[in-house]
Amino acid sequence: MSFINYSSKEINCKIVYYGPGLCGKTTNLQYIHKRMNPHARGKMISLATETERTLFFDFLPVAMGEIRGFKTRFHLYTVPGQVFYDASRRLILRGVDGVVFCADSQLTRMDANVESLENLKINLREQGYDPDRIPMVIQYNKRDIEHVSSVAELHALINYRNVPEYEAVATTGVGVFETLKGVIKLVLIDLTRRSR
């Protein structure tokens, strides 16, 4: 739930990167952390296993300038994609304002993408959200790999809401900030609509 503090003139929003294991969620945050002005971002916190799989979450706070005199801060989280960490995913979704669904473009990961999307819908509903209305963008990551599905195929498989979609190579940063800006835009539109 976005938090507006009128006395300190701050808006805080929570964005969650969701998607199957190894699709590149943590890599997105690492790239944002690396490329953002240190004044505009806080520390990145990663709770990972020894093999770098996300164990609980990654967290990165970023500042995005002012809107009508209010400082805007976005708290970026990733969930652990591995199927058995579902309780953690549910917890991390609490209070979410916007979702980046990160899909793995590799042909071998299509079932995992669909499974993760279904899991997202279930967990959003459980938290009282309508999965068809929450601000969301989709990222088709790993476009640099050889055996990938076409964007049209991915769109047909995943993007049933026809939300903004971005091709990405998170390791080199292609599409990473476009994705972030896309979800922030939707979150702010939603915030304006709700506070009217």
Ligand X SMILES: Nc1nc2c(ncn2[C@@H]2O[C@H](COP(=O)(O)OP(=O)(O)OP(=O)(O)O)[C@@H](O)[C@H]2O)c(=O)[nH]1
Q: Which of 80, 98, 135, 182 binds ligand X (CB under 6 A)?
A: 80
Q: Which of 2, 13, 16, 25 binds ligand X (CB under 6 A)?
A: 25
Give the C-alpha separation, 84 to 86, whole Å. Answer: 6
Q: Is 22 in the site for ligand X (CB under 6 A)?
A: yes
Which residues 39-68 are close enough to bind Mg ion by CB under 5 A? Answer: 54
Q: How many residues bind Mg ion (CB under 5 A)?
A: 3
Residue 189 C-beta-side C-alpha neighbours within 13 Å: 11
A 10 A CB-CB count for 37 gives: 8
Of 55 and 63, nearer to ligand X (C-beta) is 55
The greatest distance separating any two alpha carbons of the chain, rounded to the nearest whole angstrom, comes to: 53
Of 25 and 41, nearer to Mg ion (C-beta) is 25
Of 56 and 74, nearer to ligand X (C-beta) is 56
Give the C-alpha separation, 136 to 98, whole Å. Answer: 6
Kind and range of the H or E run holding 176 = helix 176-194
Token pair 């199927």 is found at: 83
When CB distances are held under 5 to 8 angstroms depending on the partner's kind, the choice from Mg ion, ligand X, none that residue 21 binds is ligand X
Q: Which residues contact 125 (CB under 8 A, 6 or more apart)?
A: 131
Estimate the crossing angle of helix 86-93 against helix 110-126, to 10 degrees. 50
Nearest to 58 by CA among 26, 92, 97: 26
Q: Which of 1, 4, 47, 145 binds ligand X (CB under 6 A)?
A: 145
Q: How far is the CB of 64 from ligand X (least distance, A)?
A: 22
Mask for 105-134, x = binds ligand X (CB under 6 A) = ------------------------------
Q: How many residues bind ligand X (CB under 6 A)?
A: 22
Q: How far is the CB of 189 from Mg ion (least distance, A)?
A: 28
Q: Which residues contact 65 (CB under 8 A, 6 or more apart)?
A: 71, 72
When CB distances are held under 5 to 8 angstroms depending on the partner's kind, the choice from Mg ion, ligand X, none that residue 171 binds is ligand X
Interface residue list for ligand X (CB under 6 A): 19, 21-27, 52-54, 78, 80-82, 141-142, 144-145, 169-171
Positions that interact with Mg ion (CB under 5 A):
25-26, 54
